[in-house]
Amino acid sequence: MNDRKIVLITGATSGIGKAAAIAMAKSNYIVVIHGRNQEKTIQVCEEIRSISANKDVNFVIGDLLLMNDVKKVAETFISRYGKLDVLINNAGGIMNKEREITIEGFEKTLAINLLAPFLLTKLLLDPLKQSEDGRIINVSSDAHKLAAKPDFDDLGMTKNYTPLTAYGNAKLFLIWITQHLSNELKQLDAHNLTVNTLHPGAVATSFGVKSNLGVFFNIIAKLARPFLKTAEQGAETMLYLATSNEMKNISGKYFVNKKQAIVSNKYYSQKHEELIWNYCVEKTKNWL
Protein backbone atom coordinates (compact mmCIF):
# COMPACT_ATOMS: atom_id res chain seq x y z
CA MET A 1 0.00 0.00 0.00
CA ASN A 2 2.80 2.42 0.88
CA ASP A 3 4.17 2.76 -2.64
CA ARG A 4 0.76 3.69 -4.06
CA LYS A 5 -0.12 7.35 -4.10
CA ILE A 6 -3.03 8.67 -2.05
CA VAL A 7 -5.26 11.55 -3.17
CA LEU A 8 -7.92 13.39 -1.18
CA ILE A 9 -10.44 15.39 -3.24
CA THR A 10 -12.99 17.67 -1.59
CA GLY A 11 -16.39 18.17 -3.18
CA ALA A 12 -15.97 14.97 -5.18
CA THR A 13 -19.50 13.57 -5.33
CA SER A 14 -20.27 15.39 -8.60
CA GLY A 15 -18.81 17.61 -11.30
CA ILE A 16 -15.09 18.03 -11.85
CA GLY A 17 -14.21 16.58 -8.42
CA LYS A 18 -15.93 13.32 -9.28
CA ALA A 19 -14.42 13.28 -12.79
CA ALA A 20 -10.93 13.71 -11.28
CA ALA A 21 -11.63 10.98 -8.71
CA ILE A 22 -12.65 8.52 -11.45
CA ALA A 23 -9.55 9.32 -13.54
CA MET A 24 -7.19 8.96 -10.58
CA ALA A 25 -8.85 5.72 -9.44
CA LYS A 26 -8.29 4.36 -12.97
CA SER A 27 -4.61 5.36 -12.59
CA ASN A 28 -4.38 3.16 -9.47
CA TYR A 29 -4.28 5.94 -6.89
CA ILE A 30 -5.79 5.27 -3.49
CA VAL A 31 -8.66 7.76 -3.73
CA VAL A 32 -10.44 9.41 -0.82
CA ILE A 33 -13.45 11.48 -1.82
CA HIS A 34 -15.11 14.04 0.41
CA GLY A 35 -18.84 14.72 0.40
CA ARG A 36 -21.43 16.36 2.63
CA ASN A 37 -24.21 13.79 2.36
CA GLN A 38 -23.24 10.34 3.61
CA GLU A 39 -25.75 8.37 1.53
CA LYS A 40 -24.80 10.12 -1.72
CA THR A 41 -21.05 9.90 -0.96
CA ILE A 42 -21.22 6.14 -0.32
CA GLN A 43 -23.15 5.69 -3.58
CA VAL A 44 -20.56 7.72 -5.57
CA CYS A 45 -17.75 5.75 -3.90
CA GLU A 46 -19.27 2.47 -5.09
CA GLU A 47 -19.81 3.91 -8.56
CA ILE A 48 -16.13 4.99 -8.83
CA ARG A 49 -14.96 1.56 -7.61
CA SER A 50 -17.11 -0.11 -10.24
CA ILE A 51 -16.06 2.18 -13.14
CA SER A 52 -12.36 2.09 -12.27
CA ALA A 53 -12.06 -1.52 -11.00
CA ASN A 54 -10.11 0.00 -8.08
CA LYS A 55 -11.17 -1.27 -4.64
CA ASP A 56 -9.28 1.48 -2.81
CA VAL A 57 -11.82 4.28 -3.12
CA ASN A 58 -12.94 5.56 0.27
CA PHE A 59 -14.67 8.62 1.66
CA VAL A 60 -14.80 11.25 4.40
CA ILE A 61 -17.92 13.23 5.33
CA GLY A 62 -18.18 16.87 6.38
CA ASP A 63 -19.81 20.21 5.65
CA LEU A 64 -16.85 22.41 4.70
CA LEU A 65 -18.85 25.55 5.42
CA LEU A 66 -18.01 24.67 9.04
CA MET A 67 -14.43 24.76 10.31
CA ASN A 68 -15.44 22.17 12.91
CA ASP A 69 -16.21 19.75 10.08
CA VAL A 70 -13.01 20.71 8.21
CA LYS A 71 -11.09 19.64 11.30
CA LYS A 72 -13.07 16.37 11.54
CA VAL A 73 -12.34 15.59 7.88
CA ALA A 74 -8.59 16.12 8.51
CA GLU A 75 -8.64 14.03 11.70
CA THR A 76 -10.54 11.19 10.01
CA PHE A 77 -8.05 11.17 7.14
CA ILE A 78 -5.00 11.26 9.45
CA SER A 79 -6.38 8.43 11.60
CA ARG A 80 -6.59 6.18 8.52
CA TYR A 81 -3.55 7.13 6.44
CA GLY A 82 0.04 7.95 7.34
CA LYS A 83 0.70 10.09 4.31
CA LEU A 84 -1.02 12.13 1.63
CA ASP A 85 0.40 12.64 -1.86
CA VAL A 86 -2.19 14.92 -3.44
CA LEU A 87 -4.71 17.23 -1.77
CA ILE A 88 -7.24 18.76 -4.18
CA ASN A 89 -9.23 21.55 -2.55
CA ASN A 90 -12.08 21.49 -5.05
CA ALA A 91 -15.17 22.16 -2.88
CA GLY A 92 -16.50 25.68 -3.31
CA GLY A 93 -19.51 27.62 -4.43
CA ILE A 94 -21.39 30.79 -5.17
CA MET A 95 -23.94 31.66 -2.50
CA ASN A 96 -27.36 33.32 -2.70
CA LYS A 97 -28.10 36.97 -3.39
CA GLU A 98 -28.69 37.65 0.35
CA ARG A 99 -25.59 37.60 2.55
CA GLU A 100 -25.57 34.61 4.92
CA ILE A 101 -23.28 33.62 7.76
CA THR A 102 -22.48 30.19 9.17
CA ILE A 103 -23.21 29.20 12.77
CA GLU A 104 -19.50 29.85 13.40
CA GLY A 105 -19.99 33.47 12.29
CA PHE A 106 -18.29 33.49 8.87
CA GLU A 107 -19.75 34.79 5.62
CA LYS A 108 -20.51 31.60 3.69
CA THR A 109 -18.61 32.41 0.46
CA LEU A 110 -15.38 33.08 2.35
CA ALA A 111 -15.94 30.05 4.59
CA ILE A 112 -16.21 27.46 1.80
CA ASN A 113 -13.90 28.99 -0.84
CA LEU A 114 -11.09 30.36 1.33
CA LEU A 115 -11.10 29.43 5.02
CA ALA A 116 -11.92 25.74 4.45
CA PRO A 117 -9.08 25.05 1.96
CA PHE A 118 -6.68 27.12 4.09
CA LEU A 119 -7.52 25.19 7.26
CA LEU A 120 -7.65 21.74 5.64
CA THR A 121 -4.26 22.30 4.01
CA LYS A 122 -2.73 23.45 7.30
CA LEU A 123 -4.14 20.42 9.14
CA LEU A 124 -2.85 18.00 6.50
CA LEU A 125 0.66 19.42 6.05
CA ASP A 126 2.26 16.66 8.15
CA PRO A 127 0.89 13.75 6.04
CA LEU A 128 1.73 15.74 2.89
CA LYS A 129 5.33 16.13 4.08
CA GLN A 130 5.56 12.31 4.23
CA SER A 131 5.17 12.20 0.44
CA GLU A 132 8.19 12.32 -1.86
CA ASP A 133 6.18 14.55 -4.19
CA GLY A 134 3.36 16.15 -2.20
CA ARG A 135 1.00 18.34 -4.21
CA ILE A 136 -1.64 20.77 -3.01
CA ILE A 137 -4.07 21.95 -5.68
CA ASN A 138 -6.53 24.76 -5.04
CA VAL A 139 -9.41 25.27 -7.46
CA SER A 140 -9.74 28.99 -8.08
CA SER A 141 -11.50 30.76 -10.94
CA ASP A 142 -11.11 33.44 -13.57
CA ALA A 143 -13.84 35.15 -11.52
CA HIS A 144 -10.84 36.55 -9.60
CA LYS A 145 -10.33 38.82 -12.66
CA LEU A 146 -13.93 39.42 -13.64
CA ALA A 147 -15.80 39.79 -10.35
CA ALA A 148 -13.39 40.63 -7.51
CA LYS A 149 -13.67 44.01 -5.88
CA PRO A 150 -12.26 43.60 -2.38
CA ASP A 151 -12.77 46.07 0.46
CA PHE A 152 -9.80 45.32 2.71
CA ASP A 153 -11.55 46.98 5.66
CA ASP A 154 -14.61 44.74 5.25
CA LEU A 155 -13.46 41.30 4.08
CA GLY A 156 -16.68 39.66 5.27
CA MET A 157 -18.68 42.04 3.05
CA THR A 158 -21.04 43.25 5.77
CA LYS A 159 -21.79 46.38 3.68
CA ASN A 160 -21.78 45.91 -0.11
CA TYR A 161 -22.44 42.18 -0.48
CA THR A 162 -23.19 40.64 -3.87
CA PRO A 163 -22.75 36.89 -4.47
CA LEU A 164 -20.53 37.27 -7.53
CA THR A 165 -18.21 39.83 -5.93
CA ALA A 166 -17.97 37.68 -2.79
CA TYR A 167 -17.04 34.69 -4.98
CA GLY A 168 -14.52 36.67 -7.06
CA ASN A 169 -12.89 38.01 -3.89
CA ALA A 170 -12.64 34.57 -2.29
CA LYS A 171 -11.07 33.06 -5.42
CA LEU A 172 -8.60 35.96 -5.66
CA PHE A 173 -7.65 35.54 -2.00
CA LEU A 174 -7.21 31.78 -2.56
CA ILE A 175 -4.61 32.53 -5.24
CA TRP A 176 -2.80 34.89 -2.86
CA ILE A 177 -2.69 32.41 0.04
CA THR A 178 -1.44 29.75 -2.40
CA GLN A 179 1.45 32.03 -3.41
CA HIS A 180 2.13 32.77 0.25
CA LEU A 181 2.12 29.10 1.25
CA SER A 182 4.45 28.28 -1.64
CA ASN A 183 7.00 30.77 -0.29
CA GLU A 184 6.55 29.51 3.27
CA LEU A 185 7.21 25.91 2.17
CA LYS A 186 10.43 26.98 0.42
CA GLN A 187 11.58 28.76 3.59
CA LEU A 188 10.76 25.64 5.65
CA ASP A 189 12.89 23.60 3.23
CA ALA A 190 9.83 21.50 2.33
CA HIS A 191 11.02 21.14 -1.28
CA ASN A 192 9.01 17.93 -1.74
CA LEU A 193 5.80 19.99 -1.47
CA THR A 194 4.21 22.18 -4.14
CA VAL A 195 1.01 24.20 -4.14
CA ASN A 196 -0.74 25.65 -7.20
CA THR A 197 -4.11 27.03 -8.29
CA LEU A 198 -6.19 26.58 -11.41
CA HIS A 199 -9.25 27.81 -13.25
CA PRO A 200 -11.16 24.76 -14.57
CA GLY A 201 -13.03 26.76 -17.20
CA ALA A 202 -16.78 27.22 -17.41
CA VAL A 203 -18.12 23.73 -16.78
CA ALA A 204 -21.65 22.33 -17.18
CA THR A 205 -22.00 20.83 -13.70
CA SER A 206 -24.37 21.40 -10.79
CA PHE A 207 -22.05 24.21 -9.63
CA GLY A 208 -24.06 27.32 -8.77
CA VAL A 209 -27.30 25.68 -9.93
CA LYS A 210 -28.89 25.90 -6.49
CA SER A 211 -27.76 29.47 -5.89
CA ASN A 212 -30.32 32.21 -6.26
CA LEU A 213 -28.28 34.93 -7.97
CA GLY A 214 -31.29 36.97 -9.03
CA VAL A 215 -33.44 36.57 -12.15
CA PHE A 216 -30.98 38.04 -14.68
CA PHE A 217 -28.00 35.84 -13.71
CA ASN A 218 -30.18 32.74 -13.38
CA ILE A 219 -31.39 33.19 -16.99
CA ILE A 220 -27.85 33.81 -18.31
CA ALA A 221 -26.57 30.70 -16.50
CA LYS A 222 -29.29 28.52 -18.09
CA LEU A 223 -28.64 29.91 -21.59
CA ALA A 224 -24.89 29.30 -21.27
CA ARG A 225 -25.10 25.65 -20.18
CA PRO A 226 -25.04 24.02 -23.67
CA PHE A 227 -21.78 25.84 -24.49
CA LEU A 228 -19.88 24.80 -21.37
CA LYS A 229 -17.17 22.18 -20.89
CA THR A 230 -18.05 18.70 -19.65
CA ALA A 231 -16.94 17.74 -16.15
CA GLU A 232 -14.22 15.54 -17.70
CA GLN A 233 -12.86 18.46 -19.74
CA GLY A 234 -13.07 20.69 -16.67
CA ALA A 235 -11.02 18.19 -14.65
CA GLU A 236 -8.14 18.04 -17.17
CA THR A 237 -6.07 20.88 -15.69
CA MET A 238 -6.64 19.55 -12.17
CA LEU A 239 -5.39 16.11 -13.25
CA TYR A 240 -2.41 17.65 -15.01
CA LEU A 241 -1.38 19.47 -11.82
CA ALA A 242 -1.97 16.33 -9.75
CA THR A 243 -0.18 13.76 -11.89
CA SER A 244 2.15 15.28 -14.50
CA ASN A 245 5.92 14.90 -14.07
CA GLU A 246 6.30 18.35 -15.62
CA MET A 247 4.66 19.80 -12.49
CA LYS A 248 7.12 18.22 -10.08
CA ASN A 249 8.95 21.35 -8.91
CA ILE A 250 6.53 24.07 -9.99
CA SER A 251 4.86 25.93 -7.13
CA GLY A 252 2.89 29.09 -6.42
CA LYS A 253 1.52 29.37 -9.96
CA TYR A 254 -1.93 29.67 -11.58
CA PHE A 255 -3.01 27.44 -14.46
CA VAL A 256 -5.68 27.54 -17.15
CA ASN A 257 -6.02 24.79 -19.80
CA LYS A 258 -2.89 23.02 -18.47
CA LYS A 259 -0.76 26.14 -19.05
CA GLN A 260 0.58 28.68 -16.62
CA ALA A 261 -1.59 31.81 -16.76
CA ILE A 262 -1.38 35.39 -15.57
CA VAL A 263 -3.08 36.35 -12.32
CA SER A 264 -4.84 39.71 -12.18
CA ASN A 265 -2.62 42.16 -10.30
CA LYS A 266 -5.30 44.83 -10.03
CA TYR A 267 -5.60 44.58 -6.22
CA TYR A 268 -2.32 42.82 -5.53
CA SER A 269 0.43 43.96 -3.21
CA GLN A 270 2.70 42.05 -0.84
CA LYS A 271 0.91 43.86 1.98
CA HIS A 272 -2.52 42.66 0.78
CA GLU A 273 -1.27 39.08 0.39
CA GLU A 274 0.01 39.13 3.98
CA LEU A 275 -3.20 40.74 5.20
CA ILE A 276 -5.28 37.89 3.71
CA TRP A 277 -2.90 35.23 5.02
CA ASN A 278 -3.05 36.72 8.53
CA TYR A 279 -6.84 37.00 8.26
CA CYS A 280 -7.06 33.26 7.50
CA VAL A 281 -4.69 32.42 10.37
CA GLU A 282 -6.70 34.56 12.78
CA LYS A 283 -10.11 33.21 11.69
CA THR A 284 -9.08 29.54 11.85
CA LYS A 285 -6.81 29.62 14.94
CA ASN A 286 -9.43 27.90 17.15
CA TRP A 287 -9.21 24.81 14.93
CA LEU A 288 -5.44 24.72 14.32
Least confident of 61-70, 92-101, 151-160, 207-216: 207-216
Catalytic residue status for 167: yes
Percent of the chain at pLDDT > 70 equals: 90
Kindly report the CATH class assigned to 6-287: alpha beta
Query: What pLDDT score was predicted for residue 231?
Result: 79
Asked if residues 201 and 235 have their Cβ atoms less than 8 Å apart, the reply is no
Mean pLDDT of the region 14-31: 97
CB-based burial of residue 47 (10 Å sphere; 0-12 exposed, 13-18 middle, 19+ buried)?
middle
Tens of pLDDT, residues 50-81: 999 999 999 999 999 999 999 999 999 999 99
The per-residue pLDDT for range 23-60, each reduced to its tens digit, is: 999 999 999 999 999 999 999 999 999 999 999 999 99
Query: What are the pLDDT digits (tens) for 210-269?
Result: 555 555 555 555 555 555 678 788 799 999 999 999 999 999 999 999 999 999 999 999
Average pLDDT, the chain: 92
Choosing from 29, 81, 167, 279, the catalytic residue is: 167
Give me the pLDDT at residue 207, please.
47
